[in-house]
Chains A and B, each alone.
Chain A
Amino acid sequence: MANRNNSRPIGRELDLEAQRRRAAFLFLAPMIIALFCVAAWPLLRTIYFSFTNTSLTDLYGGEWIGFDNYLRRRELSSGRVVWRGTLADPAWWNAVWNTVRFSVISVFFETVLGLIVALVLNAEFKGRGWVRAAILIPWAIPTIVSAKMWAWMLNDQFGIINDIFIKLGLIERGIAWTASIDTAMTAVLVVDIWKTTPFMALLCLAGLQMIPRDIYEAARIDGVHPVKVFWKITLPLVRPALMVAVIFRMLDALRIFDLIYVLTPNSKATKTMSVISRENLIDFDKFAYGSAQSTLLFAIIAVFVSLYIWLGRVNLSGEGNR
């Protein structure tokens, strides 16, 4: 046994670390290949399509047309100049506005309500387990099912929401919540907030539970008012967890599709970037034009993420706390 490794020069044999690195590479390769196939490659193709005039029926017949899908200057025979392309399309800007409006408002309410629910769940009281189980239900229900459930509850003639409001004397006649231009966005927001607040609450709760109890006890002994405890102790301590949750939610909200597609189909008041892109891609046979719009959405989200990571120095990888 002793002379098994006699007189071998340094570096001929792989040491432990090198062996592990080689294994790591083999382990990572399938995942990287899979992600390349389903993420990187399709993304590159989408971007490529956005510079062509490819159509849905003839995917390989497109020609390179440069930035025309984004912005194109055209001089009419009358000499008037018109701008074409997504960036000159009011429907696109309407979708951008809808998306931003939806994201900011929904994430704001989800954060505030999520924090409130988390504070409730963080208190010691009988039946806490039941409350936690109850708030998991909206999260567990598929988005499409939530959309349908709420569409029914918000129905203009037979909906229970109108019934409640009429009984309370808040309104006189039923409102067509999902169909009316004025209320469609509110309806979408209500459903999204209802469905997603539990998730925010759980993340906030995890943050709250990492705060050591003795901090609160010390504050109580010092006679600090509970409201002050919240602003001066709780909030600063959960803020890092909260910021990560907010950014994830924000990214999720910016790409919303399913809820809006099902709850308020074809409503100008709620159509978001994802919805309008898919409409062009698949339904209207403006495949390349839709590709340009989805590329723009990707660019917007990418810029948002980079800015956030760069400005906020958010430690997304969780590496730091090892």
Chain B
Amino acid sequence: MAEIVLKNVTKSFGSLEVIKGANLRIESGEFMVFVGPSGCGKSTMLRLISGLESITSGELTFDGSLMNNVVPSKRGIAMVFQSYALYPHMKVFDNMAFGMKLAKAGADEVKNRVEEAARLLQIDHLLDRLPKQLSGGQRQRVAIGRAIVRDPRVFLFDEPLSNLDAALRVATRIEIAKLHRNMDDVTMIYVTHDQVEAMTLADRICVLRDGIVEQVGTPSELYDFPNSIFVAGFIGSPKMNFLSAGFAEPFGCATIGIRSEHIEIANSDAEWSGEVVHAEDLGSDTYMFVEIGSDEPLVVRCAGKHRVPWGERIGLKPLSGQLHRFDGAGRPVR
């Protein structure tokens, strides 16, 4: 329901420029994920959109209307924080109702909306509890519920899963994906440093690096056609293999990149060969680490269980058409 556009947006803290001219269009109803290493400015971008930080220069519009100087509560946004940020002294009901009460909504309407949101998140039995009587996962649900009650046109998440343990993280991730499907007219922006979360949740991903938008695209676009070595290395797990110098020369570029699943074991016409120095058996797949004389061992994914020839020399070959070539500046050569 809101198309968000950033035009040459910058943000400085004193003399430190943290966002260096961001241009970005987020479609109405889209699930956009900001991803990047810690300290790259993801939270700052989100806070600029929320209005918690003021924009140093540039323009921010929601559906064409300028938002630069609109206070957060008037932007029609809701935000879910990493630390949940529940009001510790208020019961769950009051936590969720606080915003509506401040907006002077009628008691019945408040009650209906809170209970509806609580039912949706299956926390209706917790409404009389204090935050300290809840588990981490329940607290995060309450925080999401509080955001839903605000009936926002833009939903902002800042690393909402970071404080949860691994199992709960996956469950809540699914919950959020479901929420997005249910509220398909609400634009959602989600910040994470975890590229798996980004890949699984996003309609589109925005990769940030040192305050610069590095690439924007759907998960598969970023995976298949990374716009730089940085994106290629950041997206995908395990990390893409990079080979430079002597290994790249035959391909006519400065660096080549190849994902672990795009290498096959080939005893004839092998491109590279080396000794297997390590292997990780994940059950469904096996990752083999092969020392071919590059900076780091090459990681090769083999489907299924594999008899690992420890210490053995094997030959390797890239799948045709799956090689990424980069020039000296880290840009792709196509």
Contact = CB atoms under 8 A, between A and B. Distances in A.
Asked if the two chains touch in their complex, CB atoms less than 8 Å apart, one says: yes
Interface of A: 1-17, 19
A227 to B, nearest CB: 44
Interface in B1-42: 1-2
Nearest to A6: B65
Given A2-B1, A11-B69, A16-B71, 11 more contacts: A2-B62, A3-B63, A5-B65, A6-B65, A7-B65, A10-B59, A10-B66, A13-B69, A14-B69, A16-B52, A19-B71
Contact of B69 (A1, A6, A7, A10): A10
A14 B72 CA distance: 12
A6 B59 CA distance: 13
Nearest to A15: B69
Given A6-B65, A10-B66, A16-B54, A1 B76 contact: yes
B88 interface: no
A22 B123 CA distance: 39
A14 B71 CA distance: 8
Contacts of A13: 69-70
Contact of B74 (A2, A5, A6, A12): A5
A1 B76 CA distance: 8
A7 B70 CA distance: 12
Nearest to B151: A1
Contacts of B66: 5, 7-10
21 contacts: A1-B153, A2-B153, A3-B64, A5-B70, A5-B74, A6-B64, A6-B65, A7-B65, A7-B66, A8-B66, A8-B69, A10-B66, A10-B68, A11-B69, A13-B70, A15-B68, A15-B69, A16-B52, A16-B71, A17-B54, A19-B71
A91 to B, nearest CB: 54
B51 A15 contact: yes
A12 B65 contact: no
Given A1-B153, A2-B2, A2-B153, A15 B65 contact: no
B207 to A, nearest CB: 28
B61 to A, nearest CB: 9
B153 A12 contact: no
B67 interface: yes
Contacts of A14: 69, 71
A3 B69 contact: no
A9 B153 CA distance: 23
Interface centre among A8, A9, A15, A19 (most CB of B within 10 A): A15
B9 to A, nearest CB: 13
Contacts of B51: 15-16
Contacts of A7: 65-66
Contacts of B59: 10
Interface in B104-156: 153
Contacts of B153: 1-2
Contacts of A8: 65-66, 69
A10 B56 CA distance: 12
Contacts of A12: 69
A12 B282 CA distance: 59
Contacts of B70: 5, 13, 15
Contacts of B74: 4-5
Nearest to A9: B66
A2 B72 CA distance: 14
Which 10 A/B pairs are nearest by Cβ-Cβ distance? A15-B69, A13-B69, A2-B63, A5-B65, A6-B65, A15-B54, A16-B71, A17-B54, A10-B68, A5-B70
Contacts of B76: 1
Contacts of A17: 54
Contacts of B65: 2-8
A70 B136 CA distance: 69
Contacts of A16: 51-52, 54, 71-72
A151 to B, nearest CB: 49
Contacts of B1: 2
Interface in B44-100: 51-52, 54, 59, 62-72, 74, 76
A22 to B, nearest CB: 12
A11 B66 CA distance: 11
Contacts of B63: 2-3
Nearest to B70: A5
